[in-house]
Amino acid sequence: MKSILKNAVTGKGKSRGAVWCGVVLGFLVAVAGCERLEPVDTGGVKPPDNEVLMLTVDYTTNAFKGGKELWFSEKSETFTITNEYKSPGDFGHLKLFYEELNELLFFGTIHWMGCGKMIFSQDLLDANQFQLVTTYDIKYPKNGFENVFNPGNQSFDYESIWNSVQALVKAREYLDANPEQVVKMFLYTPSVGVGNPADWYWVIFLTK
């Protein structure tokens, strides 16, 4: 490049106009051929590789309470939930894990003759922050439901619980993205012994 510029300045070998045209043309070709190094602007947020939708439904009324999307950087073709349960002699807890990723999905305390609370995940969005579909159809998961923590092996009407969230735009989005999934849920009972069912609620998980 230095020799080209030098010849352009001195005019050796060619007329100055021709040399300058060659320099400018060569520069434009070089720029056009360079690979773009700047990343595409995504607003500073990296798109997640794996998403789980967590929704909560009141036990006594079946009213949708709220929810949250959990983002993970690793992908998985399957979605298995395992649990770690400590029986509440006085104070117990329940943890649920995304087994394939070894990631925590839920952590709640359980109190005997008291009331525990959900530790993880926090900052759930209120129900009024979720949009509803504008149609009146009811959409069920093709492969049904799985209760991922049911130590008493009780029977529940899972469809009535699902009906509380099936009209959410987000729930439909996850079902459409992963139509073969089994929707997972469990009943969180932070108060036991002389527990108050008004404290209890269902936690539902969908994945893309």
Residue 173 phi, psi (nearest 5): -60, -45
47: left (phi over 0), alpha (psi -120 to 50) or beta: beta
Asked if 141 and 184 sit in the same domain, the reply is yes
CA distance 59 to 201: 5
The answer to whether residue 68 is domain-embedded is yes
The residue written with tokens 């045209």 in the block is 21
Assess if residue 19 is contained within a domain.
yes
Question: Which tops the pLDDT comparison, 192 or 163?
Answer: 163
| Domain assignment of residue 44, yes or no | no
**38 within a domain of the structure (yes/no):** no
Count: domains in the chain: 2
The predicted structure's pLDDT at residue 11: 44
Q: Is the pLDDT of residue 197 over 50?
A: yes
Same domain (yes/no): 104, 187: yes
- 201-207 and 50-58 beta bridge pairing: antiparallel
Domain that holds residue 156: 50-207
Give the whole-angstrom CA distance, residue 96 versus residue 184: 12
pTM of the model: 0.76
66 plus 92 within the same structural domain = yes
The pLDDT tens digits for 79-111 are 999 999 999 888 999 999 999 999 999 999 999
Is 24 among the domain residues?
Answer: yes
The rounded radius of gyration (Å) of the Cα atoms in the chain is 29
